[in-house]
Structure 1
Amino acid sequence: MTALAELPGTSPGNPDVDVRADGVTVRLITVEPDYYGLTEQSVELARAVSATAARLGFAADPSAVGTAQVTVDALDIPAVLAFWRALLGYQNRSGSPEDLIDPRRRGAPFYFQQLDRPRTERNCLHVDVWVPHDQAAARIAAALAAGGKLVSDEYAPGHWVLADPEGNEACVGVAGHPGQG
């Protein structure tokens, strides 16, 4: 951590450092009012982090440099975005009415792209959101209040299927619900 903090371009909260049993991941995401993602400065800092890791005897994997986001196509972006904001517990990215970000910077950002006409076929992608069992009811209620629909509660209290106002589906699964092993 000390070696990272001494690199030019770092600041409090940047980079994010994730320590796990199989290694350490250093995540460099630029969060600005007009941009969210990797910049050339992020890539340069990633190279400096890799060089520092190598100097300290750690293996660096520069092939892992990258980021991902989920893009949701929508006709009515404000209505669809409100559902996803409530369901995910995300917030709007400052200065951007079509982006949601995880305030803890752990999950993938969501971007909402304008459709020019309704989609006639069923979507082939849905998002699973896992929450503690004692948080599920509140998260589902918030998503429904934000314009979502309950598609199925057949497997409750293990999981529920919801949809945003345009039919994009999401499952709310719970960890550790009573009766679960």
Structure 2
Amino acid sequence: MIETGQTENIRPLRFHETSGLEDWRVVGEGACAFFRTETFAAGAAFVGALADVPADGSGDGAGDGASDGPDVDLRPGGVLVRLVSVTEDYYGLTTRHLELARRISELARAHGLAADPSGVRTVQVTLDALELPAVLPFWRALLGYENRAGSDEDLIDPLRRGAPFYFQRMDEPRGGRNRVHVDVWVPYDEAGARIAAALAVGGRIVNDADAPSNWVLADPEGNEACVGVAGPPGA
């Protein structure tokens, strides 16, 4: 049993090193598991049962860790469950999520559902800017987003649906490269296949100096995108 009496903030590596969480992968926006379903009804039944799993991963009844409860995306082919704590001063994983993830996996197995890590991914939009205080408020107002806890460079959807926006500081104006690009976060064991697929259709690697945590790719016309990995075992 994983101790849940005290809640501590944890890094992705701590999550991945915890036994019993093999269904889960930490990506840019928390720990995610994708459970394949044969029918929409099967997925809906699983989601209904999730309501009885306490948000703090403890015993029976409703948990008091509302901010640590799961985000759930139900589709005809499967259910994506995401765990991330969103508070005024923290955005990330906590020790509560360790037991909660284990209980959700047990529930999925009870419903005959298997996890498919290839169905896990999150996308982030990155903008390069010289003056973040001038640029960020425009996007915050336009998108209806909020500042992410602990960061003056990130905006997140308060409804936890849209892709987050990250604002990357530039020291001087830059020409010849796009200043808006997409960051694709994938499971640590899916990055190689995702990069190979992009290269096979005309992409190229621009920079792999930060591999195996980040690769910069470009399409045939030079538009850049990044593939990111959070906390692979042994990192």
2:66 equivalent in structure 1: 12
In the TM superposition, what is the alpha-carbon distance from 1:117 to its structure 2 partner? 1.7
SS of residue in 2 equivalent to 1:96:
coil
For the pair 1:61 / 2:61, whether they are aligned, the reply is no
Q: Distance in 2 between matches of 1:72 and 1:37?
A: 22
1:78 aligns with 2:133: yes
Q: Could you report, residue by residue, the CA deviation over 1:86-131 in whole angstroms, capped at 9, with x for unpaired residues?
A: 221212224432211101000121121221221122416468xxxx
Instruction: Specify the SS of the correspondent of 2:72.
Output: strand
* Identity fraction in percent: 59
User: What code does the residue aligned with 1:89 have?
Assistant: G
Question: So what's the TM-score if we normalise by structure 2?
Answer: 0.44
Do the aligned partners of residues 72 and 41 (structure 1) sit closer, same or farther apart at CA in structure 2, a change above 3 Å counting?
farther
Q: Structure 1: which 5+ residue stretches go unaligned?
A: 128-181
The 3-state SS of whatever aligns with 1:50 is helix
Q: Which of residues 115, 133, 141 in structure 1 aligns to 2:170?
A: 115
Q: Is the 8 A contact 1:85 1:91 kept in 2?
A: yes
Name the Cα RMSD after superposition. 3.0
Q: 1:118 to 1:45 in 2, by over 3 A?
A: farther
Per the alignment, in what secondary structure is the counterpart of residue 66 of structure 2?
coil
User: Match of 1:72, SS?
Assistant: strand
TM-score w.r.t. structure 1 length?
Answer: 0.55
Q: Hey, what does 2:143 align to over in structure 1?
A: 88
Following TM superposition, by how much is the alpha carbon of 1:26 offset from its aligned partner in structure 2, in angstroms? 1.4
Separation of aligned partners in 1, 2:85 and 2:122:
11
Q: Is contact 1:50–1:61 with CA below 8 Å preserved after alignment? A: no
The answer as to whether partners of 1:29 and 1:37 remain within 8 angstroms in 2 is yes
Higher relative contact order (CA 8 A, sep 6+): 2
Match of 1:36 in 2: 91
